Amino acid sequence: MTELEIEFLPDKRRARVPAGVSVADAAAAAGIGLETPCGGEGLCGKCRVKLLGPAPTPTPEEIELLGDDLLRAGFRLACRARPESDVSVYVPPQSRRVEQSILVEGIARELVLDPAVTKSYVEVPVPSLDDQRGDLERVLDAAGRPRAACALPLLRELASIMRGAGWHVTTVFADDELIAVEPGDRGGSVYGMAFDIGTTTVVGYLIDLATGRQAAVASDTNAQVAHGEDVVTRIQFASEHPAGLELLRRDVVGVVNGIIAQCCRAAGIEKNQIYDLTLVGNTCMHHLLLGLPPDNLAVLPYVATVTSAQRLLAADLGLDVNPAGRCYVLPNIAGFVGADTVAVILAAELDRGDALRVAIDIGTNGEVVVAAGGRIIACSTAAGPAFEGATISRGMRATSGAIDGVSIAEDVSFTTINGASASGICGSGLIDAVAELRRLGVVDETGRMLPPARAHELPPGIARRLRGDEERPQFVIAWPHETPDGEPLTITARDVRQFQLAKGALYTGVDLLLEEIGAEASEVEELLLAGAFGSYVKRESAVAVGLIPALPLERIRSIGNAAGAGAKLALAARSMRERAEQVAHRVEYVELSRKPDFHLRFADAMTLSALIPGESKASGR
């Protein structure tokens, strides 16, 4: 059988396909998505491409939809044109399948869908004495992927699947491997899931890989919290308990599998339809998920077992998707800056452009990234899980019933996720609440809460909310009738202290990285606030409590769960995986504890007030 080589420009990607295959199918084989709203039926004319060489005789559809001038210039419809010899094909931008802004919250991103896993229906020629190709070669040729591999378990089933299906099968390829062959036409139902494995919270996104559409999202507490709230405690548990590592590994695998099941129910699909996973997390979460001993992450010089990206079988990790499913674990940067930070950098495109930009990812570990002039530096801060609710008396993660926004005027008003009765308060609600309490003087600059005895200094709607005693004052955010358990929901003086420790750690990270890169905070052109909050963090609140430098608000953007968004990008496009690997190599890790004045700066950074960046120094510029 004759084979052709079709080259696609400007991508310079090539596909070897049997003669007679359409340009659109060759493009799919080369991993290039084309606009085909009509489903490749030659009806919409959206998939026009230009053949830079001998173009086949136009079909009636092409004559109608393109017209003489375009046809003469070599334009054809990719779904109709079947080249008769090797040819280069130029794909104009408007003919490419583009997904706009759907994958990344808070950041408008155009992304050409090019998932690692693709599914297609093929009618395989029946063998004869004149065509004695092997079953595998036959189906690979028909799918236009003649050089793909196939693992032994599938190979052992292949002959009976192909014959049982009368040679009409749906193939599933992951990168350069045929991973599944299903009888008949199973359509385009290939799903993937992107996971952000946080120390406290695990979030999973179910994505339809044929369209890029998000079909479901679910999150759950990382069950490892039972063995310690922060990574250091878990590392101790892993090394001191005889089966510690295995217990922690099973915890997180169980949570991930639960989220997979939950998303499948929500979207009405089978787990079997999920063929690809991407996973990000900090380096400790990464090691625990992979079953790698995390011990050395906790001792000098804080070395990971592996930082490079891992391509695995989902089954190797115990993840419950299609048995042939793959997973891609994004690369880490260093012992305390993990794949989640790589994902934030991808989502925020900190690896592009020269401007001075800062991203803060607020989770159990707060990671800070500063990019400028081609350099990217990053650190991890011991922010702790306050923003995920763990150290806050009525804290909770951002699920239904969490207070995610608070404002105080005459009285307190708040919003909850899904509008449910207020069960607790999540990160964005906490930042708002502390900012408002500070503004009203309920809390002072040092974090001290007004004792109830001095409540009369406040407006009456506020004063009645101040409770407790001189030692342990607290402030009621939600009254008993507003909560499901009939208890008032309060913020305590101790909660404020926990908040200060967390935000102080983050601010110190920003402060020291800016120093490292040789820039003033006032020069920051964009500051991005990321985190798995319930709602986007209010910039005013973040500035007011001194969580971030007091920049003009238009330079501050809240971008939601950017780590999850980065994981989704790596799921949707293979090019993003390459880019993640480049990023992981490029980022310079800064060890904050080595900075001589770290503790002094940290103490200063706990102040609850707007921290005006480099005012005195800025005037000298």
* Residue 558 region by backbone torsions, left for phi larger than 0, else alpha for psi between -120 and 50, else beta: beta
Chain position carrying tokens 């207020």: 422
By C-beta, is 57 or 160 nearer to a second copy? 160
Torsion from C-alpha of 385, 386, 388, 389, nearest 10 degrees: 120
Q: Which among 441, 448, 386 is positioned nearest to 408, based on CA atoms?
A: 441
Whichever of 189 and 296 has its CB closer to a second copy, that residue is 296
| Residue 212 identity | G
Nearer to a second copy among residue 126 and residue 553 (C-beta): 126
Nearer to a second copy, 37 or 134 (CB): 134
CA–CA distances in Å: residue 358 to residues 20, 153, 377: 52, 48, 10
3-state secondary structure of 279: strand
Specify the DSSP class assigned to residue 295: G
**Applying CB under 8 A, which residues contact a second copy?**
127-129, 131-137, 149-150, 152, 155-156, 158-160, 163, 290-293, 295-296, 300-308, 310-312, 316, 332, 334-335, 589, 591, 594
Nearer CB in complex with a second copy: 131/615:
131
Helix (H, G, I), strand (E, B) or coil at 214: strand
Q: How far is the CB of 219 from a second copy (least distance, A)?
A: 26
- 305 DSSP 8-state letter: S
- Measured from the CB of residue 258, what is the shortest distance to a second copy in angstroms? 22
Query: Left, alpha or beta for 22 (phi > 0: left; psi -120 to 50: alpha)?
Result: beta
Cβ proximity to a second copy, 282 vs 483, nearer residue: 282
Q: How many angstroms separate the CA atoms of 162 and 318, rounded?
A: 29
Ranges assigned E (strand) in 388-514 = 402-408, 412-416, 424-425, 466-468, 473-478, 489-492
Contact at 8 Å (CB) between 377 and 400? no
Tokens at 45, concatenated: 């004319």
From CA 316, how far away is CA 394, in angstroms rounded? 38
Checking DSSP bridges between strand 274-281 and strand 191-197, what pairing results, if any?
parallel
Q: For residues 587 and 345, give the distance between their C-alpha atoms in angstroms, rounded to a whole number.
A: 10
Residue 312 beta carbon to a second copy: minimum distance, rounded to whole angstroms: 6
Quote the least distance from Cβ 597 to a second copy, whole Å. 17
220: helix, strand or coil = strand
Which among 382, 376, 347, 379 has a CA at the least distance from the CA of 363? Answer: 382
The answer to whether 53 and 85 have CB atoms below 8 angstroms apart is yes
| Minimum distance from residue 271 beta carbon to a second copy (Å) | 22
Q: By C-beta, is 389 or 509 nearer to a second copy? A: 509
- Name the residue nearer to a second copy (CB basis): 332 or 522: 332
With respect to a second copy, which residue has the nearer C-beta, 335 or 424? 335
In the complex, what is the shortest distance from the CB of residue 136 to a second copy, in angstroms, rounded to a whole number?
4
Least distance from a second copy to the Cβ atom of residue 588, Å = 11
In angstroms, the CA 561 to CA 569 distance is 13
CB of 295 to a second copy, least distance (A): 7
Q: Give the integer Cα–Cα distance in Å for 226 and 504.
A: 26
Nearer to a second copy, 74 or 127 (CB): 127
Q: Quick one: 333 or 496, whose CB is closer to a second copy?
A: 333
Q: For 376, which DSSP code?
A: E
Separation CA 33–CA 321 (nearest Å) = 25
| Least CB distance to a second copy at residue 129 (A) | 5
**Which is closer to a second copy, CB of 137 or CB of 445?**
137
Least distance to a second copy, CB of residue 302, Å: 6
| Minimum CB distance to a second copy, residue 206 (Å) | 25
Kindly state the smallest distance separating residue 367's Cβ from a second copy, in Å: 15
As measured in angstroms, the least distance from the Cβ of 334 to a second copy is 5
Whether the Cβ atoms of residue 198 and residue 285 lie closer than 8 Å to each other: yes
Q: Are 282 and 336 in contact (CB under 8 A)?
A: yes
Which three-class secondary structure state does DSSP give residue 23? helix
